[in-house]
């Protein structure tokens, strides 16, 4: 396999790209889901709290 | 003449059925595992088969194994841009709200897969052609595609008013789609160093089935993976726009008071 470095570099680049995008998307989804759930929980409380102030 | 607006309106109604962000989030959440797990399974099978079990080429030797990454990347580079152009059309003609968000998310993924296609092409070209790069019609048209992706990414974020950015980027996406047939037919129209297509829609493939199967599996797997990443990023973008709306609404109320 004299072309091994070229083959390894090709597969390695793909693996890095796939990992970066899939892990990045999963983390972004998780973070946004948590933030959205927190905000949606707070939103009615704020609406309820407004008349008291 | 009256048939045209009716057709546009009817088609618009069809697309807008799926424009509701809440519905999209539900549909996306249901779709996500059906895209992700087959993508992982098919890509690992296809690439593993191509790397360890498919035969070496009689002329190219083992470097032909780069094909199992390079060819799907090339297909996805063009398919991703076609997706971008469709989003542009949906945005300009039907003002589809999710089309703009999807276009923002397709851009970086498409640009990266195009960069991967160019990089693996160079890694394949060096041992086979003796050079990393030639200004060949196929290579140059794919490089133009990469710059179109970069232009789209830059343009969509270049305006203070996001709507102006979406519109400008949609026009670029549609205009840039002219590069897709040039990429496809470049190896037929010009005398290129890049080999002609081994797989066509009309003719029989010119490669052995022992190479064709792993290539088909990795192409299908990477295609599903591309779709899974775009769907996940678009879901996140929809959630972020909801978060922005929730965060800005009390401020507006405060300003008004």
Q: Å from B187 to nearest chain A CA? A: 23
pLDDT above 90 as % of chain B: 66
**Contacting residues of A for B112, CB less than 8 Å apart:** 17, 21
pLDDT of residue B202: 72
Its pTM stands at 0.88
Cβ-in-10-Å burial (0-12, 13-18, 19+) of B238 comes to: buried
Identify the CA nearest to B72 among candidates A37, A16, A11: A11
Residue B208, φ and ψ in degrees, nearest 5: -65, 150
CB contact under 8 A, B127 and A6: yes
Region B47-76: mean pLDDT is 92
Which residues sit opposite B61 in a β-bridge? B57
For B16-49, how does the pLDDT look when each residue is reduced to its tens digit (9 = 90+)? 666 778 888 999 999 999 999 999 999 999 999 9
Is the pLDDT at B179 greater than 50? The verdict is yes
Residue ranges of chain A whose CB lies within 8 Å of a chain B CB: 1-4, 6-7, 9-11, 13-14, 17-18, 21-22, 25-26, 28-29, 32-33, 35-36, 39-40, 43, 46, 50
pLDDT for B16:
67
In the predicted structure, residue B3 carries a pLDDT above the cut 50: no
In this prediction, residue B59 has a pLDDT band, given cuts at 50, 70 and 90, of confident
Considering only CB atoms, B69 lies closest to which of A10, A32, A36, namely A10
Per-residue pLDDT reduced to its tens digit, A1-47: 588 999 999 999 999 999 999 999 999 999 999 999 998 888 765 54
3-state secondary structure of B158: coil
pLDDT for res B194: 85
Closest chain A C-alpha to B10 CA, distance in angstroms = 33
Does residue B78 have a pLDDT over 90?
yes
- Phi, psi (deg, nearest 5) at residue B153: -60, -45
Residue B43 class from Cβ within 10 Å (0-12 exposed, 13-18 middle, 19+ buried)? buried
Residue ranges covered by each domain of chain B: 22-192+217-250
Contact B120 A13 (CB under 8 A): yes
Tell me the chain B residues in contact with residue A35 when contact means C-beta distances shorter than 8 Å: 239, 243
Q: What was the pLDDT predicted at A53?
A: 34
Helix/strand number for chain A, H first, E second: 1, 0
Inter-chain CB proximity A40 and B246 less than 8 Å: yes
Nearest CB among A7, A11, A29 relative to B63 is that of A7
Arithmetic mean of pLDDT, B148-161: 94
Can you give the length of chain A in residues? Answer: 53
> Per-residue confidence at B10, pLDDT binned at 50, 70, 90?
low
């Amino acid at each position: 396999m004299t072309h091994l470095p070229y083959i390894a570099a090709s597969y390695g680049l793909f693996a890095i790209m796939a990992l970066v995008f899939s892990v990045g998307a999963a983390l972004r989804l998780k973070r946004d889901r948590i933030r959205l759930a927190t905000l949606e929980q707070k939103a009615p409380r704020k609406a309820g709290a407004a008349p008291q102030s | 003449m009256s048939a045209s607006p009716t057709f546009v309106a009817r088609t618009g109604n069809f697309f807008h059925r799926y424009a509701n962000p809440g519905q999209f989030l539900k549909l996306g959440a249901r779709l996500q595992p059906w895209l992700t797990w087959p993508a992982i399974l098919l890509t690992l099978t296809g690439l593993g088969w191509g790397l360890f079990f498919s035969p070496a080429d009689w002329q190219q030797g083992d470097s032909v194994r780069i094909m199992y990454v390079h060819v799907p990347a090339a297909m996805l580079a063009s398919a991703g841009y076609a997706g971008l152009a469709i989003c542009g059309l949906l945005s300009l003609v039907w003002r589809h709200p999710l089309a703009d968000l999807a276009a923002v998310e397709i851009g970086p993924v498409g640009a990266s897969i195009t960069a991967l296609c160019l990089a693996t092409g160079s890694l394949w070209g060096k041992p086979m052609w003796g050079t990393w790069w030639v200004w060949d019609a196929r290579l140059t048209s794919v490089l133009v595609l990469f710059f179109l992706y970069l232009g789209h990414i830059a343009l969509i974020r270049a305006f203070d008013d996001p709507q102006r950015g979406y519109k400008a980027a949609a026009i670029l996406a549609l205009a840039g789609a002219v590069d897709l047939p040039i990429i496809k037919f470049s190896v037929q129209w010009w005398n290129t160093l890049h080999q002609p297509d081994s797989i066509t829609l009309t003719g029989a493939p010119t490669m052995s089935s022992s190479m064709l199967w792993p290539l088909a599996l990795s192409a299908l797997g990477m295609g599903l993976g591309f779709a899974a990443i775009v769907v996940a990023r678009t879901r996140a973008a929809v959630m972020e726009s909801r978060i922005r709306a929730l965060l800005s609404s009390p401020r507006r109320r405060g300003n008004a008071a």
